């Protein structure tokens, strides 16, 4: 894709910083809450731009090994969901669960990495 | 009859007139309404606080919970039979009365508000002092002495309202475990977004339905840290009964153990404030018998999956354009947290 600087990651970063530094401090109540949610959403985009490609590659390799078929990530995930529902993978539960846990951990690493660090 | 907002009055002004007339019926003519303020900003219910000041100067501190004046249609899901899932406000008020009579902490519900051309229906409750925000209950110094008692107390309270005889209850939807499971799976399917992690959860539960237990009783339906009111001494009331239904009562206990309402206090499985053994001890002391760890675990898994589907529902409420808000877009992604929790709980 033809692009100049700032690139896509830098643009998202600029909007996130604008919301954090200039909007957040000047609003209150629901608008302040929604600003924080918006900042978090942009942070998800940034982490996905940074790490998502490698996660996709690893997920696809695992899916191919598990399902013994080929396809893109969307097709393979749909096939996995069907196979689990149909009981076709019941004899490989350990491998399925391991794959699902790795995938879920990657989803969290993008969506809310702090979730994995307990506080209290 | 549809309640209509008079364009020449604010919502609070119109409600003040309704309340003046209603308080005159319950107390005496000349009872004044003071300090009327809306508490909840949510679109699904209206909660108002006010004082009814009688002519002799005595004051009754009250809460009104009513249906929103601008009512939104219930979200529909492809494949899910239509029909009201949540109970109405009059039933909710009645359930609070029954829970209190049965010995569960709950505010006094002195009378109801019927709908007419000026107002939607609702119920009044005596105003309790205390905290309802889950995060504050877990963090604020004021509740430090209350927190260690809460797991036992919510177990005890649940035993009391689970024990209400079925023939005393108003008509409600019945939702046995197998049907409830199918209900949420159908909702997931309606989004046409295959979800392997949740599929695994549905299959795990479907294979273990016998762990759900045999009992059938009044379920609160949304029994969690966030729908209770806590004061400095402990549990002051069980609130928000709009999801009440008939079903397996252990579902309430499992829901209380879902991580989403621990607000970071992961080691305290029950609501972020206590342990499963305290919960079960309180439940047994409340007279509902001893529940097995396996049954609680089944319902904790169920609750975790249910919360995941509810996150999806909110995400798709945004995506489908019914209510465009960045908040729901964000909640949609919280389904990942639930999926992660779910897969940790399974084998």
Q: Is B344 on the interface with A (CB under 8 A)?
A: yes
Number of domains forming the structure of chain A: 1
Measure CB to CB from residue B267 to each of A82, A85, A120 and give the nearest one. A120
- Local confidence band at B41 (pLDDT 50, 70, 90 cut-offs): low
Is a pLDDT exceeding 90 seen at residue B247?
yes
- Per-residue burial over A48-62, b = 16 or more CB atoms within 10 Å of its CB, e = otherwise: beeeeeebeeebbeb
**Pairing relation of β-strands B59-66 and B234-238?**
unpaired
Please tell me the distance from the alpha carbon of residue B159 to that of residue B153, in angstroms, as a whole number: 10
Asked if B200 and A111 come within 8 Å (Cβ–Cβ), the reply is no
Least confident range from A1-5, B88-92, B190-194, B338-342: namely A1-5
How confident is the model at residue B43, as a pLDDT? 64
Give the SS3 label for residue B249.
coil
Residue B289, min C-alpha distance to chain A (Å): 32
Contacts of A111 in chain B (CB under 8 A): 333-334, 336-337
d(CA A102, nearest CA chain B) in Å: 9
B78 burial level (CB within 10 Å; 0-12, 13-18, 19+): exposed
Substitution target from A15, A45, A81, A91 for chain B, most B beta carbons within 10 A: A81
d(CA B197, CA B337): 11
DSSP-based three-state secondary structure for B227 = coil
CA distances from B91 to A18, A23, B87, B125, B316 (A): 48, 44, 6, 14, 29
ipTM of the predicted structure?
0.94
For the segment A3-26, the average pLDDT, to the nearest whole number, is 95
Three-class SS of residue B66? strand
Task: For chain A, give the number of residues.
Answer: 120
Instruction: Identify which of B264, B337, B343 has the shortest CB distance to residue A120.
Output: B264
Q: Distance from A35 to chain B by nearest Cα, in Å?
A: 9
> B264 vs chain A: nearest CA distance in angstroms?
5
Helix ranges restricted to H, chain B: 11-26, 89-101, 134-139, 147-162, 177-190, 196-207, 250-256, 276-283, 293-319, 326-333, 335-345
As a whole number, mean pLDDT of residues B243-251 equals 95
Tell whether A81 is covered by a domain: yes
pTM score, two decimals? 0.93
Interface touch A103/B196, C-beta < 8 Å: yes
Q: How far apart are CA A65 and CA B168, in angstroms?
A: 57
Is the per-residue pLDDT at B37 higher than 50?
yes
Nearest to B326 among A37, A80, A105 (CB): A37
Using a CB-CB cut-off of 8 Å, the residues of chain A touching B195 are 81
Mean pLDDT score of chain B: 94
Q: Which residue of B has its CA nearest to A94?
A: B347
Nearest 10 degrees: CA dihedral of A105, A117, B310, B159?
130
**Statement: residue B327 has pLDDT above 90:** yes
Residues of chain B numbered 1-20 and touching chain A (CB < 8 Å)? none
Does residue A118 register a pLDDT over 70? no
Domain membership of residue A79 (yes or no) is: yes
pLDDT of res. A117? 78
**The pLDDT of residue B214:** 86
Cross-chain residue pair A108–B203, CB shorter than 8 Å: no
Strand-pairing partners, residue B231, are B234
Q: Model confidence at B81, in pLDDT bands (50, 70, 90)?
A: confident
Residue A118 included in any domain: no
Q: Is B204's Cβ below 8 Å from some Cβ in A?
A: no
User: Do the domain assignments include residue A19?
Assistant: yes
In 3D space, the residue among B199, B299, B197 whose CA is nearest the CA of residue B248 turns out to be B299
Set of chain B residues whose Cβ sits within 8 Å of the Cβ of A37:
326-327, 329-330
Report the pLDDT value the prediction gives residue A120, as an integer from 0 to 100: 44
Q: Length of chain B, please?
A: 347
Chain B residues lying within 8 Å of A41, measured CB to CB: 326, 329-330, 333
Cross-chain residue pair B326–A38, CB shorter than 8 Å: yes
Q: What is the pLDDT averaged over residues B108-114?
A: 97
Which positions in chain B touch A97 (Cβ < 8 Å)?
200, 343, 346-347
A62 in a domain, yes or no?
Answer: yes
**What's the mean per-residue pLDDT of chain A?**
94
Binary contact (A100, B41; C-beta < 8 A): no
- Beta-carbon contacts below 8 Å between A and B: 82
Segment A45-69 mean pLDDT:
97
* Closest in B194, B202, B327 to A78, CB measured: B194
**B339 — contact with chain A (CB < 8 Å)?**
yes
In a domain? residue A119: no
Nearest-angstrom CA–CA distance, B208 and B305: 15
What is the per-residue DSSP string for chain A? Answer: ----SS-HHHHHHHHHHHIIIIIGGG--HHHHHHHHHHHHHHHHHHHHHHHHHHHHHHHHHHHHHHH-----HHHHHHHHHHHHHHTTTGGGHHHHHHHHHHHHHHHHHHH-GGGGS---
Q: Specify if A54 maps to a domain.
A: yes
Residues of chain A positioned with their CB less than 8 A from the CB of B345:
none
Give the residue-averaged pLDDT of A27-43: 95
Subunit contact B195:A81, Cβ cutoff 8 A:
yes
- State the average pLDDT over residues B252-263: 96
List the structure tokens of B103.
Answer: 């010995």
Nearest chain A residue to B329 by CA: give it.
A41
pLDDT at B18: 96
Domain extent, residue A28, equals 8-113
For A85, the closest of B203, B267, B339 (CB atoms) is B203
Per residue in B215-226, pLDDT (tens digit) is: 999 999 999 999
Mean pLDDT of A20-42: 95
Q: Looking at residues B133-140, what average pLDDT do you find? A: 96
């Amino acid at each position: 894709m033809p692009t100049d600087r700032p690139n896509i990651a830098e643009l998202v970063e600029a909007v996130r910083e604008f919301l954090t530094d200039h909007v957040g401090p000047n609003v209150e109540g629901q608008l302040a809450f929604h600003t924080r949610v918006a900042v978090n959403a942009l942070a998800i985009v940034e982490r996905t731009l940074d790490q998502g490609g490698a996660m996709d590659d690893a997920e696809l390799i695992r899916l191919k090994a598990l399902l013994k078929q080929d396809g893109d990530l969307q097709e393979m995930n749909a096939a996995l969901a069907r196979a689990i529902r149909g009981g076709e993978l019941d004899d490989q539960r350990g491998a399925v669960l391991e794959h699902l846990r790795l995938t879920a951990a990657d989803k969290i690493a993008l969506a809310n990495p702090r979730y994995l660090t307990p506080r209290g | 009859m549809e309640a209509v907002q008079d364009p020449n009055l604010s919502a609070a002004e119109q409600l003040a007139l309704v309340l003046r007339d209603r308080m005159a019926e319950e107390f005496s003519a000349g009872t004044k309404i003071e300090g009327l303020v809306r508490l909840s900003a949510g679109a699904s219910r209206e909660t108002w606080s006010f004082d009814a000041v009688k002519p002799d100067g005595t004051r009754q501190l009250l809460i009104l919970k009513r249906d929103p004046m601008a009512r939104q249609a219930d979200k529909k899901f492809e494949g899910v039979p239509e029909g009201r899932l949540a109970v109405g406000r009059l039933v909710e008020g009645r359930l609070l009365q029954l829970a209190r009579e049965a010995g569960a902490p709950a505010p006094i519900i002195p009378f109801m508000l019927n709908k007419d051309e000026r107002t939607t229906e609702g119920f009044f409750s005596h105003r309790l002092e205390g905290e309802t925000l889950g995060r504050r209950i877990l963090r604020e110094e004021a509740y430090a002495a209350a927190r260690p008692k809460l797991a036992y107390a919510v177990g005890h309270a649940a035993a009391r309202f689970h024990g209400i005889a079925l023939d005393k209850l108003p008509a409600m939807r019945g939702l046995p475990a197998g049907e409830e499971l199918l209900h949420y799976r159908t909702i997931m399917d309606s989004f046409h977004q295959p979800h392997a992690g949740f599929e695994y959860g549905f299959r795990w539960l479907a294979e273990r339905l016998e762990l759900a237990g045999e009992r059938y009783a009044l379920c609160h339906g949304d029994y969690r840290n966030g729908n209770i009111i806590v004061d400095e001494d402990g549990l002051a009331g069980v609130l928000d009964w709009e999801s009440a239904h008939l079903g397996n009562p252990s579902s309430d206990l499992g829901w209380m153990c879902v991580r989403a309402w621990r607000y970071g206090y992961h080691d305290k499985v029950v609501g972020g404030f206590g342990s499963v053994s305290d919960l079960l001890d309180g439940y047994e002391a409340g007279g509902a018998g001893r529940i097995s760890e396996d049954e609680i675990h089944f319902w904790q898994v169920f609750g975790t999956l249910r919360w995941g589907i509810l996150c999806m529902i909110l995400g798709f409420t945004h995506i489908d354009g019914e209510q465009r808000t960045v908040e729901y877009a964000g909640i949609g992604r919280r389904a990942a947290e639930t999926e992660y929790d779910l897969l940790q709980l399974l084998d």
